[in-house]
Amino acid sequence: MSSKLSVFRIGFFLDGYTLKKVNEYYLKYHKYHARLDFRALKGWVRDYAIQLFGREGCPIEMESHYYHPFIRHYDRAETSFGDGQDRLEKQLAMAGFEVHYNDPADINKMGPNMQLVEDASLCAYYHKIDVLVLLSTQGQYSSLPPRLKKEGVPMLLLGWNFDYERRDSTVYWRTDASLRELSGYYVAMEEVAEMYPPRRAADKNLFMLPYNPQPTNSNIWRAYLQKIMASLEEPKAEYKSNGRCEKSPALARLG
């Protein structure tokens, strides 16, 4: 079988520290008020890598890894810390990502999970992947492209550049220049996102989901019961002209 039709193996490594900042930007400060769709993002990465490296028609194998900036919640004393982590882990698992938590030694700080570099390097060394796609903006990963190049594995970097106003100051978020220069291929993801704005009426969005907040009183039946129960707190008897005492409307409905 020719190499053109051989299995094309893609390794997608997602820096959770960068993703946290990107999601926060698009959800709170950008006009989209949207969040990343992990499953759709994974599909976009697969299709882009196939086209970039000219592997259309080849069988595809893709492994996806998410490197969490925090440690696992049950390594902490605060039990409430795990609520958001559990939801995120379920979303990632449904999208086919394996989640890697940060080192417990870094419990007092949040930053890039450096285990990503070692794991990605091992994948390249044992020839488990043909190309590595890294979503990150962090210069701490600058040592990865040379290590991959040594094993003959090209790297596609997905970076983000944006700025926004927060608390009377401007926040500038940029992809590290060294990481960008060392990577063989680069995509400015903020430009891709601007080309395909998320729409609620669309059958399918690119890799962002429009934010759809639930109304504070979305359960009509629950609201109705609460109103009924409130009227029961101080029931008042109603007297007719004939002197008979009748139930209030709330009590009458409950029998």
One domain, residues 170 and 68? yes
Q: Where are the beta strands (DSSP E) in the chain?
A: 8-15, 34-36, 60-67, 97-100, 131-135, 155-159, 162-166, 169-173, 185-188, 208-210, 238-239, 245-246
The residue segments making up the domain with residue 85 are 3-210
Read off the pLDDT of each residue in 45-65 and give the average, rounded to a whole number.
97
| pLDDT at residue 62 is higher than 90 | yes
Return d(Cα 25, Cα 230) in angstroms, integer: 41
One domain, residues 122 and 61? yes
One domain, residues 20 and 89? yes
pLDDT tier for residue 204 given thresholds of 50, 70 and 90: confident
One domain, residues 133 and 190? yes
pLDDT top residue among 154 and 81: 154
| pLDDT at residue 154 is higher than 50 | yes
One domain, residues 153 and 38? yes
Read off the pLDDT of each residue in 38-49 and give the average, rounded to a whole number.
96
Give me the pLDDT at residue 149, please: 97
> Of 173, 154, 151, which is closest to residue 162 (Cα–Cα)?
173
One domain, residues 128 and 168? yes
- Each residue of 82-126: pLDDT tens digit? 566 788 899 999 999 999 998 877 556 667 899 999 999 999 999
Name the average pLDDT for the chain.
83
Burial of 230 (0-12, 13-18, 19+ CB in 10 A): exposed
Read off the pLDDT of each residue in 192-200 and give the average, rounded to a whole number.
90
One domain, residues 200 and 152? yes
Domain count, the chain: 2
One domain, residues 29 and 96? yes
> Of 182, 130, 129, 192, which is closest to residue 160 (Cα–Cα)?
192
